[in-house]
Every structure is written in structure tokens, then in C-alpha cells.
């Protein structure tokens, strides 16, 4: 057991040192390799003509934040697409730090979708209790893993439509998995990205899916995943919901709240 734990820790730490996790060689249920084709919604949003002034400001902010946070990455620890899928479901209304504490033990106990299904509901709830909303999350994990086995032979699909058909998986979770486990670009609209996008004048929407649609045409598609990471890092370090550090903000000269 100790040897397995050390190997897993070494694998995660090696990935962190290389500034992110490598693309996972896991095929989708429809093909032998992950599909790079964007969903219909992504394609439509990406080709929508953006406001040129907003786009110019968005690109300037993205460039500045990319320099400010050169090592920005997904903060959830994972070593496979399944682990990232589970971690992202648990991260709903919970900090990444707390999720990592829970999954450091969880992933040694649950190595496959079948492990989540065969475990009694009450036991799974106890294993994830400290992430909050543990009853609903346990139900989502079981439903998700059941669908993985029934529809995808237990393999996490590298496809937006297939992912969002799983229990407990919305576009935010799907984009996180696609972008960080498969290298397929997607904008992850978490609480930080949603808050900052409104504060910076990129959108007036409050719904995460609508915010995503407004952001897509502003940022080059190949940068969608990185954009999510640098925005989240900026939200954690400078642009908090309460008492943002506007005097220290590296993009204060571009923020419509301060101009």
C-alpha cells in the first residue's frame, strides 16, 4: 500500500513540475482517440462576431495575466481522466484544496467506475463528506459511473455531448475534463471566471453557460483552457469577491471598474 501511495504521489508531482498534466491516452467510446471537433454550441459561439473594444480589452488582460501567472494550471490533483471527472464533481461549492485532501485517500480506494457503483451509498457519502453536499454528490458519482460502464465501457469519453449526458456533469465539468485530461480547449466557467468576466465587462450574463458563450469569441480557441486557469488564479490572488486588491491589480489599468 505504501509503495502504491508513493508511486501515485510521484506521478502527480512529476506532472506538476511539467506545468500541467499530460494528455491522457484514453479513447472515446466513438473512436480510438479523443476528438478535437468542437460541439455545435462552441462552434456557433466561437464564430459570433465579438464587440471589437471588448475583445481588445479581453486579449490585453489575458496577455497580462498570462505573464503574471506563467504556471497557471488546473489546481485539482489527478492522474487519469476518471480521477479528474470525480474531482471536478466534488469541487462543486468546495475549494480545490479540500477536494485534493479528500481525493488523496479516495483515489486509492476507488480505482474504477465499478468501485463507486459497488460501494454502499452511505459509505461513499462518508468518504466524501467533507466536500459538502455529500449525499447529492455521492448520487451523482454513482449515476455518472453507471453511465460510464453502460455507455462507454467504463472509459471517460473525450466528447462534450457524451460527457454532459453523464449524471452530475454539466458544461463546466466537461470543459475541465476535456481541457485538462485530453487537451481539447474549453472555457471552464467556475465562480472565479464568472465573477471576473462580469467585473471586467466581458459579459452581463449570470448563467455560466451564457457567460461561456460570451467569452468564446473573445479569446482564441486554442487558449480557452489557459484563459480559464489564469482568470481563476487572478481571482484567488487579487480579484476576490469581497475586498479585491485593486491597488495591486496587474490589470487595473484595463478594468472598467477602475478606469
Residues carrying an active site annotation: 172, 190
CB 164 within 8 A of CB 178: no
Backbone angles phi, psi at 22, to 5 degrees: -70, 160
- Given its phi and psi angles, is residue 168 left (phi above 0), alpha (psi -120 to 50 degrees) or beta? left
Cα→Cα distances 7→72, 80, 93, 97, 188, Å: 24, 14, 30, 21, 30
Cα→Cα distances 170→41, 61, 200, 258, Å: 14, 27, 25, 33
Backbone angles phi, psi at 153, to 5 degrees: 55, 30
CB 193 within 8 A of CB 232: yes
CA 256, CA 180: separation in Å to the nearest integer? 31
3-state SS assignment for residue 66: helix
Amino acid at each position: 500500500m505504501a509503495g502504491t501511495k508513493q508511486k501515485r504521489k510521484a506521478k502527480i508531482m512529476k506532472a506538476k513540475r511539467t506545468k500541467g498534466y499530460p494528455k491522457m491516452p484514453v479513447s472515446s467510446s466513438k473512436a480510438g482517440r479523443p476528438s478535437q471537433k468542437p460541439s455545435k454550441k462552441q462552434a456557433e459561439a466561437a464564430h459570433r462576431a465579438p464587440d471589437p473594444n471588448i475583445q481588445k480589452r479581453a486579449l490585453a488582460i489575458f496577455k497580462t495575466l498570462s505573464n503574471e501567472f506563467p504556471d497557471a494550471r488546473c489546481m485539482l490533483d489527478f492522474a487519469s481522466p476518471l480521477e479528474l471527472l470525480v474531482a471536478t464533481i466534488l469541487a462543486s461549492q468546495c475549494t480545490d484544496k479540500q477536494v485534493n485532501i479528500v481525493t488523496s485517500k479516495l483515489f486509492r480506494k476507488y480505482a474504477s467506475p465499478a468501485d463507486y457503483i459497488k460501494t454502499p451509498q452511505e459509505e461513499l457519502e462518508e468518504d466524501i463528506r467533507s466536500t459538502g453536499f455529500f449525499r447529492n454528490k455521492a448520487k451523482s458519482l454513482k449515476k455518472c459511473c453507471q453511465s460510464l460502464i453502460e455507455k462507454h465501457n467504463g472509459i471517460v469519453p473525450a466528447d462534450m455531448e457524451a460527457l454532459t449526458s453523464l449524471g452530475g456533469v454539466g458544461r463546466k465539468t466537461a470543459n475541465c475534463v476535456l481541457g485538462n485530461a485530453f487537451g481539447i480547449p474549453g472555457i471552464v466557467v467556475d465562480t472565479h471566471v464568472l465573477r471576473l468576466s462580469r467585473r471586467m465587462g466581458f459579459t452581463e450574463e449570470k448563467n455560466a453557460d451564457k457567460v461561456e458563450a460570451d467569452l468564446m469569441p473573445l479569446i482564441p480557441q486554442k487558449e480557452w483552457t489557459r484563459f480559464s486557469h489564469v482568470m481563476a488564479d487572478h481571482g484567488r490572488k487579487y480579484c476576490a469577491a469581497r475586498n479585491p486588491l485593486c491597488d495591486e491589480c496587474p490589470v487595473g489599468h484595463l478594468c472598467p471598474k477602475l478606469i
